[in-house]
Amino acid sequence: MKQLYDVLIIGGGVVGSAIAREMSRYDLKIGVLEKNLDVCYETSGRNSGVVHGGFAYDTGSLKAKLCVEGNKIMGQLAKELDFKFIRCGKVLVGNTQEDMDTLKRTIKQGEANGASGLELVDKERLHELVPAVVGEFAMFSHNSGIVDPFNYTIALAENAHANGVDYYFDHQVTAIERDDDGIYSLTTSHGVFHTRWVVNGAGLGCGHISDLLGIKGYKIIGSKGDYIILDKRTGPLLPMPVYPVPSNTYMGIHVTNTTDGNVIIGPNADMVTDFTYYGVPQENMDYLAESASGLWPCIRKQDYIRNYSGILPKWVDDNGAIQDFRIEIRDEIAPRAINLVGIESPGLTAAVPIARYAIGLMAEREKLEPNPGFQPVRRGITRFEELTKEEQNRLIRENPDYGEVICRCEKVTRAEILAAIHNPLGVGTMAGIKYRTRSMMGRCQGGYCQMRIAQMIEEELGKKETEVQYAGKGSQMFFGKVRQEA
């Protein structure tokens, strides 16, 4: 007898996992089909980590409405789900009369969108907010902030899973069919799944999944942004994100602080058709540093510790104009299929309101019964470094594994690594441990701890050394022994 789901969500990124978590409030059998080996290997984990205020989007658009809603509830979500969020504010820095006019229009648009805490500040106030910035004035957004995008996504997924949602990794959807009874059959790389409802939360793959559903015609382009990560010693020089005055379609190369004390430079915006290439050319790094130095002249090569890139899925019309989020049910083509297209920035900020909007469409078509056992609270892995000395000593007495530091740069203990290896979602990759603990994210980028963590994965999960993967399928850390014992 085939297993029948009420809902199968294609894509386990921040939006797919937000939908899974919010749907688990109801009495539904839910599954998530994710092609990668974890929930944040694509757009959800490759961004600036900024919680936007909602002032940058056209009034009346879903981007504006859902971003403002997401900004307002982010603090409560962080408390419920135990991820890092700091409402530190953000400045958009200007120098010319044209910049001033743009900022005044931006404030007016933001207020029309329902954003609050927007004000123009002069040079003196600007330099009180960000002493190292270069600029004559700015728009200060009090309610903007920063979030840990990895643990936000992981928290949503873990809470969904705790409330009964099944997660299937390495399950890429290759075909979708609907029978005469209206049941969908989703063919994946590991078998066929059956469901009454389908949700297209595929992010970069949204256009392809939409085509498989029969909803054709969406043109999706990729906007690739490159970033540089700076050492934590630069963190005290940047108390909040610093942006240039935006253009109509691009926020510009900015400088962003992170919830863990690093500084991020970027992104640029290159239109791409390859949604799998994440390399960062040297000339792009040079361009990022030169451009951002005009705003924040504290960028030095000796502080570079890593680069990365991310790709946003932008839905464009025939003229190439970027469109709003599309969240729809096309009853005449694909009944009981929720189709999400072009969920780019501010998708991270808006993820939970996006989920609630999508569920609202579903609720218009069938009655949803509450799940009486729904638990909104999730607790993440204890961060040993952030505890007081008294708390640290107590933990070490209770569990000696807290007394052994595995990652020296980020001061991550053996107990934290073990908790990450045995995570609720069953993720066993090196990157999965990295995103859950910040191990391998420090100055040496794993030079000290990486091999020790790989060995722990082998021992704890019973893997051979050739089975330990870094992130994606086929990313083996080892292919055999250099020397065999006699």
Q: What stretches of 261-304 show up as alpha helix (H) in DSSP?
A: 282-293
| Omega of the bond leading into 131 within 30 degrees of 0 (cis) | no
Nearest to 157 by CA among 318, 276, 12, 51: 12
Please, which residues have CB within 8 angstroms of residue 2's CB and are 6 or more apart in sequence?
A: 192, 194
| Omega of the bond leading into 267 within 30 degrees of 0 (cis) | yes
**424/364 Cα distance (integer angstroms):** 33
Look at the block and give the residue holding tokens 């999508």: 358
**228/292 Cα distance (integer angstroms):** 11
Please, which residues have CB within 8 angstroms of residue 154's CB and are 6 or more apart in sequence?
A: 39, 40, 83, 380, 423, 425, 435, 436
CA angle 360, 365, 371 (to 5 degrees): 60
CA angle 137, 138, 141 (to 5 degrees): 155
* Token reading at 424: 């609720």
Query: Which amino acid, one-letter code, is at 274?
Result: D
Q: Which residues are catalytic?
A: 52
Look at the block and give the residue holding tokens 């949503």: 156
- Integer CA distances (angstroms), 415 to 382, 421, 453, 465, 469, in order: 9, 10, 12, 22, 21
